[in-house]
Structures are given as C-alpha cells and as structure tokens.
Amino acid sequence: MSEVINSLKVAVQTGRVVLGEKETLKGLAKRSVKLVVVSSTAPNSKRLVEEAKKLAVKVYEFPGSGWDLAAVCTRGHVVSALGIVDPGESDILSKLQ
C-alpha cells in the first residue's frame, strides 16, 4: 500500500489532478479522469464509484479518511476524492491495473 501512496504523491506533485467529489464528477463527465481515488469517509462515494464504473474508469478506495488523503496531497483541507487526469511522472495507473 505504501507504494501506491508514494505513487499518488508523485502524481499530485508532477501530474494533473482534480480535487473534490464535484470536480471529479465533472472530470468524469468530460472523460478526462483516468483514475478516481475515494477516501473511506467520502459522503458521495457511491455515486462516484457508479459513475466511474459506467465509464470503465478504475477506482481506488483509499483506506484512510479525507484528512489522510489530504496529507498525501499536502493540502490543508479534507480531500474526500480526487481524479487523476494526467499521472505525470507517477506509475500509479500501471500499479493499480
């Protein structure tokens, strides 16, 4: 799991991600999101997972809370979900296949 977290950190630092449930849903609607990451405490996780599965987008259920996911993203606010648009230098997409 720590490998996935490290890859997620690299994706946030070097790639393009959208933060939050609303932005992730918008990214899914535009078909720009390649991976959805949902925290264990995300209030609308069911809707995100359903939308992602409809579009055949991989979903990673982050084992921690929104605060834990925020720490990985180096944000000072809760991050309940995020969508990876471009992984940058990260290998997270291949790790989660």
What's the CATH number where 25 sits? 3.30.1330.30
As a whole number of angstroms, the distance between CA 16 and CA 60 comes to 17
**What is the sign of the dihedral through the CA atoms of 97, 61, 84 and 89?**
negative
Instruction: Give me the domain span that covers residue 59.
Output: 2-95
Report the pLDDT value the prediction gives residue 1, as an integer from 0 to 100. Answer: 65
Domain count, the chain: 1
Report the pLDDT value the prediction gives residue 68, as an integer from 0 to 100. Answer: 94
Other C-beta atoms within 10 Å of 60: how many? 16
* Tens of pLDDT, residue by residue, the chain (97 residues): 688 899 999 999 999 999 999 999 999 999 999 999 999 988 888 999 999 999 999 999 999 999 999 999 999 999 999 999 999 999 999 988 7
